[in-house]
Amino acid sequence: MKTISNGFYRFLQYFSAFIVVTVLGGCNLDTRMSTFVTKGPIAEEQLNLFMLTVWVTFAIFIIVGGVFVYAVIKFRERPNDDRPMPSQGHGNPLVEIGLIGASILLLAVIAVPTLQAIWFTQETPDDVESRMGAWYSGEELAEEEAENPLIIKVIGYQWWWAFEYPQLGITTANEMVIPAGKVVHLELRSVDVIHSFWLPRIAGKVDLIPGRTNAMWIQAGDNFAKWKEKQGIVGPDQDSPELREGYASYLQEEIHNYYYGQCAEFCGDSHARMLFRATVVGDREFEAWVADEKIGHGTPDGRSWDEWYTAYEENPEQLTGDLNEGLKLFMGRAKCATCHTVKGNPRAVGVAGPNLTNVGARLSIAAGWLNHRAEDGGIDTEQQYENFFNWLKETDVIKPGNLMWEANGGGIGELIDEHGEPALLTDEEINKLSLYLQSLK
């Protein structure tokens, strides 16, 4: 008898040590996709609500657990115990009504801030300093657009994201770029199944549902007013160049960054590999990025596109060099342009796959699954080359079931050679395509 209980106690000791080490060991809250280290008002609101719920339930846990432990200790059986059985209570109206009342009260305590938070996150605020007209000077905007915040249409595909900027006439994929401290209004749609937009440090989550447009707003960092409030600077009229400078350096140091997002609704084979990024930059940097996206790319050898295509049709042999060879494959045998758009190139206008304008300047491909971001935040070009190469060689291995490999009739998995025989791209061809893609920046 004694040995069994000793063994059991030893087991309990080890088991609790194990639990403490594993649970607390996982307690690094400052990770890339942490919901605890927030960088924007929506995530902050959600965290506050979560913590309120935690405290309320923790209080219930302590009270119920306390009563339980008290009863277990007080009424436990002792050696030679000849006390009478404690009274066996049942149906005490006072206790029952009291418990019902307490539950209702606690639910109310949680419900009110929950509803407030839902409204807060649903309604895009009209923040005067976030209106496009107030900060965007990249080009003249139509009047009603200047009154709005930046709008981004987020479109979910199996298994990647398109980000359209309707006011600016540009589209990018998998890495959205947004200005720091500004309200951004998102319209979320899906072309196939349900996906979910989740950018943990900034905001989450809203579903992308086929046949329906959902809306949400996000903001990386606080606006000027909120920042002042947190600094303890009171009075709405407080404004000065020094304050503005302080606010600017807050954005620069704490908010400008590269944020990690993820599809948060199971959406098929490669759901776990449907990530995305948000690069948060300053206003001028944002404008420069937009300008780059609008221009897109010229030909690899500096000819005009008309000249290039004339040469391509007359005698492609005269277009030499790795980049020209890569582009010839892109437009020809490899059929890349049937699915991908490259701004600038008038014949690369496919829409079944991600827009590849400036894909060489992005820090990841394959919807964030293959990374080439160097430690200093720039591009690790060797890794980038390898990622392009592997992606083109083994798309189906890197993202099982992905639609670049599988697409009916046009997928890269079904290429043919000049004799009409099935023939995948050779390593040499993939090399040239990879170099070409790297040059798109």
DSSP result, 251-306 = IIIII-EEEEEEE-S--STTGGG-EEEEEEE-HHHHHHHHHHHHH----TTS--HH
Among 392, 431, 432, 438, binds ligand HEC (CB under 6 A): 392
297 binds, among Cu ion, ligand HEC, none (CB under 5 to 8 A by kind): none
Spatial separation of the C-alpha atoms in residues 168 and 161, rounded to whole Å: 18
- For 83, other C-beta atoms within 10 Å of its C-beta total 8
C-beta pairs of 19-24 under 8 Å, 24+ apart in sequence: none
- Confirm or reject binding of residue 255 to ligand HEC (CB under 6 A): no
| Chosen residue from 366, 372, 384, 438 binding ligand HEC by CB under 6 A | 366
- CA 51 from centre of chain: 23
DSSP secondary structure letter of residue 336: G
Pick the binder of ligand HEC from 339, 342, 348, 435 (CB under 6 A). Answer: 339
CB 152 within 8 A of CB 185: yes
**How many whole angstroms separate alpha carbon 255 and alpha carbon 313?**
49
List the one residue from 152, 199, 403, 435 that touches ligand HEC (CB under 6 A): 403
Asked whether position 263 contacts Cu ion by CB under 5 A, the answer is yes
Q: Does 138 bind ligand HEC (CB under 6 A)?
A: no
132 sits near ligand HEC (criterion: CB under 6 A): no
**Residue 372, interface with ligand HEC (CB under 6 A)?**
no
Query: 121 or 174, CB closer to ligand HEC?
Result: 174
Tell the smallest beta-carbon distance from residue 195 to Cu ion (Å): 3
**Cα 243 versus chain centre, distance:** 31
CA angle 425, 427, 433 (to 5 degrees): 70
Stretch that binds ligand HEC, among 21-29, 143-151, 234-242, 363-371 (CB under 6 A): 363-371
Residue ranges in 179-238 that form contacts with Cu ion under rule CB under 5 A: 195
**Which one of residues 190, 399, 432, 438 is an interface residue with ligand HEC (CB under 6 A)?**
399
Selected binder of ligand HEC within 136, 160, 163, 260 (CB under 6 A): 160
Question: Which has the closest alpha carbon to 282: 333, 236, 314, 248?
Answer: 248
Q: Which is nearer to Cu ion, 256 or 277 (CB)?
A: 277
- The rounded distance, in Å, linking the Cα atoms of 339 and 193 is 20
354 binds ligand HEC per the rule CB under 6 A = yes
CB of 265 to ligand HEC, least distance (A): 16
End-to-end CA gap in the chain: 75
- For ligand HEC, which is the closer residue by CB, 160 or 224? 160
Smaller CB separation from Cu ion, 153 or 226? 153
Of 240, 235, 238, 193, residue with least CA distance to 212: 193
Q: Are 344 and 308 in contact (CB under 8 A)?
A: no
Q: Which is nearer to ligand HEC, 132 or 437 (CB)?
A: 437
Pairing, β 275-281 against β 257-263: antiparallel
Provide the mask over 344-363, with x wherever binding to Cu ion is found by CB under 5 A and - wherever it is not: --------------------
CA nearest 43: which of 233, 260, 250?
260
The smaller minimum CB distance to ligand HEC, of residues 121 and 172, is found at 172
Q: Find the part of the chain contacting ligand HEC (CB under 6 A) among 143-151, 214-222, 305-313, 334-342.
A: 334-342
Query: Applying CB under 6 A, which of residues 345, 433, 435, 438 lies at the interface with ligand HEC?
Result: 433
Strand order through the sheet with 195-199: 175-179, 275-281, 257-263, 195-199, 203-208
Other beta carbons within 10 Å of 122: 12
Pick one of ligand HEC, Cu ion, none as the site partner of residue 214 (Cβ within 5 to 8 A by kind): none
From ligand HEC, Cu ion, none, interface partner of 267 (C-beta below 5 to 8 A by class): Cu ion
Footprint on this chain of Cu ion (rule: CB under 5 A): 195, 263, 267, 274
Footprint on this chain of ligand HEC (rule: CB under 6 A): 159-160, 173-174, 270, 330, 334-336, 338-340, 352-354, 356, 359, 365-367, 391-392, 399, 402-404, 407, 410-412, 433, 437
